[in-house]
Amino acid sequence: MKRDVLQEKILTILVDDFEFVQPGLDDNLRDDHGFDSIDAIELLGKIEGILGLALTREEKEKAMEIRTINDILDYIELIESSRTT
Protein backbone atom coordinates (compact mmCIF):
# COMPACT_ATOMS: atom_id res chain seq x y z
CA MET A 1 0.00 0.00 0.00
CA LYS A 2 1.37 3.41 -0.92
CA ARG A 3 2.40 5.77 1.86
CA ASP A 4 -0.12 8.47 0.88
CA VAL A 5 -2.97 5.93 1.10
CA LEU A 6 -1.68 4.70 4.47
CA GLN A 7 -1.36 8.28 5.68
CA GLU A 8 -4.96 9.05 4.75
CA LYS A 9 -6.22 5.90 6.51
CA ILE A 10 -4.20 6.57 9.68
CA LEU A 11 -5.20 10.24 9.82
CA THR A 12 -8.86 9.28 9.39
CA ILE A 13 -8.59 6.77 12.26
CA LEU A 14 -6.85 9.28 14.53
CA VAL A 15 -9.41 12.01 13.82
CA ASP A 16 -12.55 9.83 13.84
CA ASP A 17 -11.70 7.29 16.55
CA PHE A 18 -9.26 9.17 18.78
CA GLU A 19 -10.63 12.69 18.26
CA PHE A 20 -7.33 14.23 17.16
CA VAL A 21 -7.72 17.82 15.95
CA GLN A 22 -5.52 18.76 13.00
CA PRO A 23 -2.82 16.16 13.62
CA GLY A 24 0.61 16.91 12.21
CA LEU A 25 2.79 14.10 10.90
CA ASP A 26 5.55 14.92 13.37
CA ASP A 27 3.35 15.69 16.39
CA ASN A 28 4.26 13.71 19.49
CA LEU A 29 1.22 11.48 19.94
CA ARG A 30 1.43 11.42 23.73
CA ASP A 31 2.43 15.02 24.41
CA ASP A 32 0.39 16.74 21.70
CA HIS A 33 -2.71 14.52 21.65
CA GLY A 34 -2.84 12.67 25.00
CA PHE A 35 -2.35 9.28 23.30
CA ASP A 36 -1.81 6.59 25.94
CA SER A 37 -0.99 2.87 26.06
CA ILE A 38 -4.65 1.84 25.82
CA ASP A 39 -4.97 3.99 22.71
CA ALA A 40 -1.84 2.34 21.30
CA ILE A 41 -3.33 -1.13 21.77
CA GLU A 42 -6.53 -0.05 20.05
CA LEU A 43 -4.55 1.50 17.19
CA LEU A 44 -2.56 -1.72 16.74
CA GLY A 45 -5.86 -3.56 16.27
CA LYS A 46 -6.85 -1.07 13.60
CA ILE A 47 -3.46 -1.45 11.89
CA GLU A 48 -4.04 -5.20 11.80
CA GLY A 49 -7.34 -4.46 10.07
CA ILE A 50 -5.67 -2.20 7.51
CA LEU A 51 -3.03 -4.84 6.78
CA GLY A 52 -5.47 -7.75 6.90
CA LEU A 53 -3.19 -9.78 9.15
CA ALA A 54 -2.34 -10.40 12.77
CA LEU A 55 0.80 -8.76 14.11
CA THR A 56 3.41 -10.96 15.77
CA ARG A 57 4.52 -10.36 19.35
CA GLU A 58 7.80 -8.92 18.03
CA GLU A 59 5.96 -6.53 15.71
CA LYS A 60 3.76 -5.37 18.59
CA GLU A 61 6.82 -4.82 20.79
CA LYS A 62 8.42 -2.76 18.02
CA ALA A 63 5.32 -0.54 18.02
CA MET A 64 6.23 0.68 21.51
CA GLU A 65 8.89 2.88 19.85
CA ILE A 66 6.26 4.86 17.92
CA ARG A 67 6.09 8.54 18.84
CA THR A 68 4.69 10.31 15.75
CA ILE A 69 2.33 9.69 12.84
CA ASN A 70 5.38 9.42 10.58
CA ASP A 71 6.63 6.67 12.94
CA ILE A 72 3.30 4.84 12.45
CA LEU A 73 3.66 5.06 8.68
CA ASP A 74 7.28 3.86 8.82
CA TYR A 75 6.20 1.01 11.10
CA ILE A 76 3.46 -0.15 8.72
CA GLU A 77 5.80 0.05 5.73
CA LEU A 78 8.39 -2.02 7.64
CA ILE A 79 5.82 -4.69 8.43
CA GLU A 80 4.58 -4.77 4.86
CA SER A 81 8.09 -5.09 3.45
CA SER A 82 9.09 -7.80 5.92
CA ARG A 83 5.98 -9.82 5.09
CA THR A 84 6.51 -9.69 1.33
CA THR A 85 10.16 -10.72 1.32
| 85 within 8 A of 59, measured Cβ to Cβ | no
Residues near 58 by Cβ (< 8 Å), separated by ≥ 6? none
> How big is the chain, counted in residues?
85
The pTM is what?
0.91
The predicted structure's pLDDT at residue 74: 97
The predicted structure's pLDDT at residue 72: 97
The predicted structure's pLDDT at residue 84: 74
The predicted structure's pLDDT at residue 85: 61
The predicted structure's pLDDT at residue 71: 97
Segment-wise mean pLDDT, segments of 10 residues, the chain, 85 residues: 95 96 96 94 95 93 94 95 79
Domains, the chain, ordered by start: 3-84 (1.10.1200.10)
- The Cα–Cα gap between 30 and 6 comes to 21
